Structure formats: C-alpha cells, structure tokens
Amino acid sequence: MTPDFTRAVGFLQAGKLVAFPTETVYGLGADAANPEAVARIFAAKGRPADHPLIVHLPGAGHLERWARDIPALAWELAEAFWPGPLTLILKRAPEVPYAVTGGQETVGLRMPAHPLALGLLRAFALAGGGRGGLCGIAAPSANRFGRISPTEAAHVHQELGATVALVLDGGPCQVGIESTIIDLSCHGDQPPRLLRPGHITPEQIYAVTGVRPEWPAEMLGENVPRVSGSLEAHYAPLTPMYLVASEQLPAVIAELQKSGRRCALLARTRQTLPVLTHAQSQLPDEAEAYAHGLYAALRELDRSANDVIVVEEVPADPAWAAVADRLRRAACGSGEV
Ligand code: TXA
Ligand code: MG
C-alpha cells in the first residue's frame, strides 16, 4: 500500500496529530510552527509542557529557518550524519514557538532517515509546510509520558489510541532507541555536550569533526548505582524492573520465585537457571541488535502479567552506553531488588 502522505499532510495542516516511523522509534507528529497543534502532543502524551520537543526537518537546508547563530560544527554534523539518528540543539530562530522549545531559547532539530518520515516531510514541504510556511514536524516518541518508546505501529495504537488522526505504518524501527542528542548551543569554546547517548557515538563524531563531545560521567556506565534515585524515571515498563549482573541471576531469580513473585527475565547470554521463570526473552549479545529489539521485548514482558522484570546487565563498554542508559532509566524508581 502506498503511504497516504496527502491525507497525513492535510491532518498536519489542520493542526491534528500524525504518528510516523523514524529509524529510531515512532514519533507523534504535529506542525511545529502551530502552537495549538503542538499543545495537542503534550495533551495526548500527558507530558509536562516545559519539556522541549525535537523538530524534524526535510533537510539541512531548513536549518536556518529554525535556528540562529549556527556554528560550523552543526553544518559539519548535518553533512556527515543526516539523514540519521542525531539531534542537534541550537539557538532557536525567533519564529520557533516556545510551545516546541518548552519555553527555552534553544531548539532540537533532526532529519530522520526513515523513508516514510522523509516522504512525509517532503510532502509537507511541497504542500507549503505549516504555519508561516515553516516546514518542521515536532515529534516526541509516540508513547505516554515516561513509558517505553514505540518501535512498531501497533505499539502506538496501544499507547495513544484515538488521539492520533493517523498512524503511518513502516514496520519495526531499525535502530530501536532514540537519537543521540548533542548540545551545540553552549557558549564560546566550550565543547559540545552529549545530552543523550544513541546509535551515533561520540567516537564517530570525533572521527568526523575532530571535536569530542563532553560525555557526562553518569552516562559512562561505570561507578553508577544500579538503581539510581538521581535519574528521572523514563522509558519505563509499569512492572518493577531490576538490573542484575549475569553471575548473580540464578541466585536473584531463585530468591524472587521463592517469595512467590512472578518473575520475567530479559537475558543477553544463555542462562541455566535453578527455577523456571514465568516469562523469558533473550536478546542478541551485541549492542546494535540488542537495541533494535529492546523496547519490543520490554513491552512484551510488561504485558504478560509479571510481578518483576529482571534484566541481565549489559557490559560496561562504550559500545553499550546508549543501551545501558535506557536500561538504567527504565529501572530507576523500582527500588532495590
Ligand atoms: O529518536 C528520537 O529522537 C525520537 C524520534 C521520534 O525522532 N524522538 C524523541 O523525542 O525521542 P522525545 O521528545 O521523546 O525526546 C526528546 C528529548 C527530550 O529528552 C528533550 O528533553 C530533549 O530531547 N530536547 C529536545 N529539545 C531540547 C532542547 N532545546 N534542549 C535540551 N533538550 C532538548
Ligand atoms: Mg520520549
């Protein structure tokens, strides 16, 4: 079936919500230049209004409509990584509504790599774009606030139901976790900051630009409490979730089962367990393939009536940093095992 871009663009121009696949996760889209349409995103997600949204662009040629004082590094990064899973935080252009930026003077911008997302953005541009002729689609992940991001169209229906005018179905998302976010709005000669690790790594950015984004210590996966009270609970299943080191899995699961709790396991390596878990899922022991399957696996275990989800810890290795970040956030707030 050919995607219904004409209908989708009609909805966007009428201020309605259209969900669409990107290479990372599904987005919940609205005309980024229309504050009332953007307000509908916040209402549908149950998201606090001071949380900024990412604006999706049909190409780097649109950057100057949305940002000002764009540093050379931003052009270099767009050239190297767009379309792709990299979001740039830049100073906002005056026309960008505060509704999109959460009241801040900066805006998050990215050009997604999925053919349906690009098709939609190009059709939107061809039809004259949104308010004031600006052409950007504001789209957070298409989940209820704080929940697991959707990586399939069916997940979007589960999360948001009838609040969305249309869901474009592009099958499962390839990357599976949200884009890397780099803050380039810092002043002077301060290095850019990594705000969210993702598929595109600081190493790749360094290799292309010679500039190494600052990687905050809490993202390195070392010296971090397994269940942290300092991280905002995010990307989380409803079922309490614990991260457990591989060698401790048998003992922890035996203990949980003994206490009568229905226990699900998300493993990465082969496990010989003393007792059967209520549900079990295994993801590949390789970071990119693991990321691709992570949210669908968590969603499945969350839906199968378990009391706890035990997740086998991932290696403390830069290749796993983005996955480790999502797991830490998902486990945050579940307390000690
Ligand atoms: O892969 C992705 O980035 C997906 C797809 C749909 O593009 N989108 C996504 O959006 O993950 P969302 O809203 O779920 O997460 C966006 C993150 C939030 O943590 C937000 O705080 C941050 O981007 N962000 C957006 N604009 C920002 C800004 N101006 N300054 C700092 N952080 C910003
Ligand atoms: Mg999100």
Q: Are residues 163 and 250 in the same domain?
A: no
- Over the stretch 124-152, which tens digit does the pLDDT of each residue have? 999 999 999 999 999 999 999 989 999 99
Choice from 106, 152, 155, 178 to test ligand 1 binding pocket (greatest atom count within 8 A of CB): 178
Q: Are residues 212 and 294 in the same domain?
A: no
Among 272, 270, 277, 239, which Cα is nearest to 256's? 277
What does the pLDDT read at residue 271?
80
Q: Name the more confident of 62 and 273.
A: 62
How far apart CA 169 and CA 120 sit, in angstroms, is 12
Q: Which two tokens stand for residue 128?
A: 């004259």
Say if residue 323's pLDDT is above 80.
yes
Say if residue 95's pLDDT is above 90.
yes
Q: Which two tokens stand for residue 255?
A: 């203990």
Say if residue 89's pLDDT is above 70.
yes
Q: Name the more confident of 215 and 23.
A: 23
What does the pLDDT read at residue 308?
93
- 167 CA to middle of ligand 1, Å? 20
Give Cβ neighbours of residue 128 (< 8 Å, ≥ 6 apart).
none
Asked whether residue 88 is domain-assigned, the answer is yes
Say if residue 109's pLDDT is above 80.
yes
- Contact by Cβ (8 Å): 53, 108: yes
What does the pLDDT read at residue 186?
81
Q: Are residues 98 and 133 in the same domain?
A: yes
CA trace torsion 139, 141, 145, 146 (10° rounding): -140
Residue 213's pLDDT band, with cuts at 50, 70 and 90, is very high
Query: Which residues are near ligand 1 (CB < 6 Å)?
Result: 22, 24-25, 27, 51-54, 85, 87, 89, 101, 104, 106-108, 112, 139-141, 178-179, 181, 195
Q: Are residues 104 and 246 in the same domain?
A: no
Q: Which two tokens stand for residue 333?
A: 């707030």
Q: Are residues 251 and 297 in the same domain?
A: yes
How far apart CA 156 and CA 139 sit, in angstroms, is 13
Give Cβ neighbours of residue 288 (< 8 Å, ≥ 6 apart).
175, 199
The mean of the pLDDT values for the chain is: 91
Asked whether residue 223 is domain-assigned, the answer is no
* Residue 101 alpha carbon, nearest atom of ligand 1: 29
Q: Are residues 65 and 112 in the same domain?
A: yes
Q: Name the more confident of 130 and 238.
A: 130
What does the pLDDT read at residue 332?
81
- Read off the CATH number of the domain in which 209 is found: 3.90.870.10
Overall average pLDDT of the 33-58 stretch: 96
Choice from 54, 120, 292 to test ligand 1 binding pocket (greatest atom count within 8 A of CB): 54
* Residue 87 alpha carbon, nearest atom of ligand 1: 3
Protein residue whose Cα sits closest to atom 3 of ligand 1: 179
Q: Which helix or strand (DSSP H or E) is residue 328 part of?
A: helix 321-331
Asked whether residue 234 is domain-assigned, the answer is no
Asked whether residue 183 is domain-assigned, the answer is yes
Residue 270's pLDDT band, with cuts at 50, 70 and 90, is confident
Q: Are residues 210 and 275 in the same domain?
A: no
Overall average pLDDT of the 6-10 stretch: 98
- Contact by Cβ (8 Å): 156, 78: no
pTM of the model: 0.94
Q: Are residues 126 and 36 in the same domain?
A: yes
Q: Are residues 214 and 260 in the same domain?
A: no
E strands, the chain, where?
18-21, 26-31, 54-56, 67-68, 86-92, 106-110, 137-138, 166-167, 180-183, 193-196, 241-244, 263-267, 279-282, 308-312
How far apart CA 301 and CA 47 sit, in angstroms, is 24
- Closest-approaching ligand to the CA atom of 41: 1
How far apart CA 168 and CA 152 sit, in angstroms, is 10
Overall average pLDDT of the 241-270 stretch: 92
Percent of the chain past pLDDT 90, that is, above it, reads 79
Asked whether residue 231 is domain-assigned, the answer is no
Asked whether residue 31 is domain-assigned, the answer is yes
Angle at 180 (CA atoms; ends 17, 121), nearest 5 degrees:
35
Q: Are residues 51 and 145 in the same domain?
A: yes
Asked whether residue 178 is domain-assigned, the answer is yes
Angle at 111 (CA atoms; ends 208, 150), nearest 5 degrees:
110
Q: Are residues 246 and 176 in the same domain?
A: no
Q: Are residues 171 and 57 in the same domain?
A: yes
Lowest mean pLDDT among 99-113, 162-176, 248-262: 248-262
What does the pLDDT read at residue 232?
56
Residues bordering ligand 2, an ion, CB closer than 5 Å = 141
- 45 CA to middle of ligand 1, Å? 14
In the numeric block, the tokens 């053919």 are attached to: 115
How far apart CA 192 and CA 88 sit, in angstroms, is 10
What does the pLDDT read at residue 220?
53
Overall average pLDDT of the 199-217 stretch: 91
- Read off the CATH number of the domain in which 255 is found: 3.40.50.11030
How far apart CA 89 and CA 73 sit, in angstroms, is 12
Q: How many domains does the chain have?
A: 2
Protein residue whose Cα sits closest to atom 7 of ligand 1: 27
How far apart CA 56 and CA 113 sit, in angstroms, is 10
In the numeric block, the tokens 């219904």 are attached to: 4
Q: List C-alpha distances in Å: 215 to 104, 148, 160, 191, 209.
A: 22, 24, 34, 10, 16
Say if residue 227's pLDDT is above 50.
no
CA atoms in the 13 A half-sphere facing the CB of 318: 8
Asked whether residue 232 is domain-assigned, the answer is no
How far apart CA 142 and CA 21 sit, in angstroms, is 9
Residue 181: give the domain boundaries: 3-218
Backbone angles phi, psi at 166, to 5 degrees: -155, 140
- Over the stretch 283-294, which tens digit does the pLDDT of each residue have? 999 999 999 999
